[in-house]
Structure 1
Amino acid sequence: MDRVIPKKKWNSKRLATIGGAAAILALIGASVYFTSGKTKVNVDTGKITVSEIKKGPFQESIPVNGIVMPITTIYLDAMEGGRVEEKFVEDGAFMKKGDPIMRLSNTDLELSLVNQETQVFNLLTQMQISKNAARQNTIGKLNQMAEVASSFTEAERVYNLNKDLYQKKAVGLQEFRKSQLEYEYQVKRKKLTEQVLRQDSVSTREEQDQATQGYQRTQAALALMRKKVGDLVVRAPVDGQLTSMDAEIGQNRSPGQRLGQIDVLSGFKVRVDVDEHYITRIFTGLKGDFTLGDKTYNLVIRKVYTQVTNGRFQVDMAFAEGTPKDIRRGQTLQIRLALSDETQAILVPKGGFYQQTGGNWIFKVSENGKTAYKVDIQLGRQDPDYYEVLEGLKPGDKVVTSSYENFGDIQELVLKKE
């Protein structure tokens, strides 16, 4: 007798069909989920930084580094070239104005000085000879003038006498005319001699003036040459500390070559490097501050160097309230350079989020604190600690400010404490 076998409800074929359909539905669901922009990831709150948005005083500023330098630096350049023969002091020595630092030798310059001195001596000797000759010439002309004057006086006397006697018929016409001609001759001779003497005096004076001027010029050239030789001994131009001396005995130094510098220690300034991006916003009078020994000190820009090198330019800043006692030359200061006046603004603390978002969006924590989701924001100015929020956030909001590097395209963070 045959037995009826009951048909199985869940056979392998049916199970395979149901499993395939479920997989397809799961795939479709996952596709819808991921393309809907609702990707989530669990995040340990201990591994992120949550900051609160607040409103407070804000001053746009940038962090810069400054080097403490003497307020005045005098560079020592070789006025004349030569070989370093002797060093009187070493680098770092404190100098008084006029103290010798080193001595150079230059045989060509020293030989030129000897030749110049010889030229001056020869010129002086020639001037003396010329003066003696001029004096003798003047004496001769004065003697000649004395003779002419004597002859004129005698001719005048005879003429006047004969004129009186002729009127009295005591002498003849011939004798009177002879004395008259002699007198007229002596008058012309006397005038001519006086003119020659005057011209000779003028000529002699001009020659002496020219010789004196030539001698003075030669003396000035000699003084200049002596100064050039004297410059072979390099001296401190002011009181201060000798630094950066670059000269060793036996070295040759060309004219104008840097030998060192003198730092005037009456005060200090701070030389600051600034990114060229801010060159249009930096000007004299801008302020900054730095902290040293738990105390804040103020600085002010006194000079801007507009030359850009390797993408940076420099400014000199002065201490606004006097130089701190603990400041030393060469010390590096971390300065907060203000670019605007202080105002009230909505602030978000700086953090690693900016590297991934560029300040265009941020993860904002929900009111219940369980999730954080993307919101668009707009940031403005910045200082070393905060960004200015222009749009998208309000005081009291909480946001994730740590790095988003591991979040990729995640749209929402599920905040959990582990």
Structure 2
Amino acid sequence: MDKVLPRKNRKKVKAIVIVIGIFLLTFITYKTFFQDVVLNVSKKEVRIRVVEEGYFEDYISFQGQVEPLHSMLVNIVEGGAIQELFVENGAIVETGEPLARLYNPSTEYSFMSQENALIEQMNNLNVSKMNIRNQEINLTKDLLSVQHDYKEAELMYELNKKLYDQEVLSKSDWERTKETFRYQKERKSLIEQSISKEKQTSEVQLAQIEQSLYVMQKSLVKLRENKENFLLVAPISGRLSSFDVILGKTYTAGESIGKIDVMKGYKLVAQVDEFYLERIQVGQKGQIDMKGELVAVEVKKIIPEVKSGRFEVQLDFMIDRTLKLQEGTSFGVKLFLSGKDKTLLLPKGNFYQETKGEWVYVVKGDKAERRKVELARENPAYYEVISGLEVGEEVIISSYRDYLRVEYLNIKE
């Protein structure tokens, strides 16, 4: 016959079962995630480096390409088809030297029509100007005639007045003399006023005509200059590059068909990862290795526009003598972002991809132990160590991909 357990004993049994269950769950979880607590690795499979004390140089490395210090684009001014080529790509050209000739029948016909229209308008204005000048001459003649008649009437008036006062001239003759003099005087006054107004009007008309002729003359000069734009010439002296035009091909106005590189000085142009956009500044110094010689360079210009994850940096050569450079040559640039700081240094390695610098394997003899660390700045060669490591300690810096869940490593020869 079964014996009934007391209530207190049943509670105790239940508690024991729960504890055992938790223990088993913990054990299974631990075995699942940390089943390889210790792993044997070959020393040949890992890279081991020593933590050292030294000066941390905050720098980045990238490739820079040699380009001329100054260049100018060769642009099409008047669109058309290439009719004639005078030079080839790579030629040394002088300012104003013809490069190519274009042809555009419709544009040339338009230029001709505009030129003829302007010349006709200018001729009409010149005729109008001549008519006004002739009118002024006629008015001057009229004025001289009136003044002459007035002068004769005045002389006759003075003479007859004396004769009348001496009672030699009759009263009727004197009255006619006075009337003639009055008439010529009023006639002279009216005509002088009329001629004065006519001259003022003529001066305004002539000024307007001269202004119109000036504008038309400028337009005519510009039009003829535009006709000359079918002849493409070098804007500056230098080496012609990227000049790959094709005979018969049509190019539009404003289209760039090449450039001219000024053969006086060079610069380095680099495409740098956008990660460094906020860290690179104008004036920062760097260096390149040119056949074993370190040549100083300096950031001269930054173009912050990001394309495909990169932005452009232009650097000048900081050297007095002329360098023998070839356009298109690439150099590795070492650009310093700050000064040197004395600190602990850990050589760079692939381990960082898995740990993000939060922990490393520290080697002691033939074993390696997982340890938390704090890393800060980095350059192409080293990480800056903030805490977790000491000078002289050895660290595995190769990839941890195969033993991310392992606490200890046995390093075998």
TM category, shorter: 0.7 to 0.9
Q: Aligned pair 1:152/2:150, yes or no?
A: yes
Per the TM alignment, residue 109 of structure 1 is displaced from its structure 2 partner at its CA by 2.5
Work out whether residues 34 and 406 of structure 2, in 8 Å CA contact, stay in contact via their aligned partners in 1.
no
Comparing 190-199 with 81-90, which one deviates more in the overlay?
190-199
- 2:139, 2:369 → 1: CA distance? 120
Q: Which one of the candidate residues 402, 405, 412 is aligned to 2:398? A: 402
Please give the alpha-carbon distance, in whole angstroms, between the structure 2 residues aligned to 1:324 and 1:52.
43
Aligned-partner SS, 1:212: helix
Alpha-carbon deviation of 1:248?
Answer: 0.6
Note the C-alpha offset of 1:134: 3.2
| Secondary structure of residue in 2 paired with 1:119 | helix
The equivalences for 1:184-223 within 5 A come to 184-223=182-221
Contact in 2 for aligned 1:57/1:345 (Cα 8 Å):
yes
> d(CA) in 2 for partners of 1:276 and 1:131?
69
Is the 8 Å Cα contact of residues 287 and 334 (structure 2) preserved in structure 1? yes
For the Cα contact (< 8 Å) 2:239–2:262, is it kept in 1? Answer: yes
Q: What is the CA–CA distance in structure 2 between the aligned matches of 1:240 and 1:193, rounded to whole Å?
A: 71
Given candidates 43, 46, 57, the residue that maps to 2:44 is 46
Counterpart position of 1:3: none
Counting matched residue pairs gives 387
Distance 1:153 1:334 in 2: 101
Look up the SS of the partner of 1:60 in the other structure.
strand
Residues 185 and 296 from structure 1, CA distance in 2 versus in 1: closer, same or farther, beyond 3 angstroms? same
Mapping 1:407-418, distance limit 5 Å:
407-417=403-413
- Deviation, structure 1 residue 209: 2.7
Give the equivalent residue in structure 1 for 2:372.
376
Instruction: Pick closer, same or farther for the CA change 1:326–1:42 going to 2, 3 Å.
Output: farther
Where does residue 98 of structure 2 map in the other structure? 100
C-alpha separation between the residues in 1 aligned to 2:383 and 2:255? 49
What percent identity do the matched residue pairs reach? Answer: 30
The code of the aligned residue for 2:411 comes to L
1:311 aligns with 2:309: yes
Counterparts of 1:58 and 1:292, CA distance in 2: 24
Q: Structure 1 stretch 35-44 or stretch 382-391: which is displaced more? A: 35-44
CA contact (8 A) 2:122 2:216 kept: no
Match of 2:362 in 1: 364
Equivalent residue for 2:9? Answer: none
CA contact (8 A) 2:358 2:375 kept: yes
Give 1:302-341 correspondences, 5 Å limit.
Answer: 302-322=300-320, 325-341=323-339
1:343 to 341, 345, 368: 341
Partner residue in 2 for 1:285: 283
Return the offset for 1:36.
8.2
Q: Find the counterpart in structure 2 of residue 182 from structure 1.
A: 180
After the TM superposition, which of the residue ranges 217-226 and 116-125 deviates more from structure 2?
Answer: 116-125
Aligned residue in 1 for 2:14: none
Bigger CA drift: 401-410 or 304-313?
A: 401-410
Question: Deviating runs (4+, > 4 A) in structure 1?
Answer: 30-38
- Residues 1:33 and 1:135: Cα distance change in structure 2 (over 3 Å): closer
Is 2:244 the partner of 1:252?
no
Kindly state the Cα deviation for residue 162 of structure 1 after the two structures are TM-superposed.
2.7
Counterpart position of 2:387: 391
**1:36-62 deviation digits (Å, cap 9, x = unpaired):** 888222233233222111111112122
Is the contact between residue 33 and residue 39 of structure 1 (CA under 8 Å) also seen in structure 2? no
Q: Which runs of 5+ in 1 are unaligned?
A: 1-26
Across the aligned residues of Structure 1 and Structure 2, the Cα RMSD in angstroms comes to 2.5
The equivalent of 1:55 in structure 2 is 53
Aligned to 2:160: 162
Distance 1:404 1:322 in 2: 49
**Alignment deviations for residues 23-45 of structure 1 (CA, whole Å, 9 cap, x no partner):** xxxx9xx9899688882222332
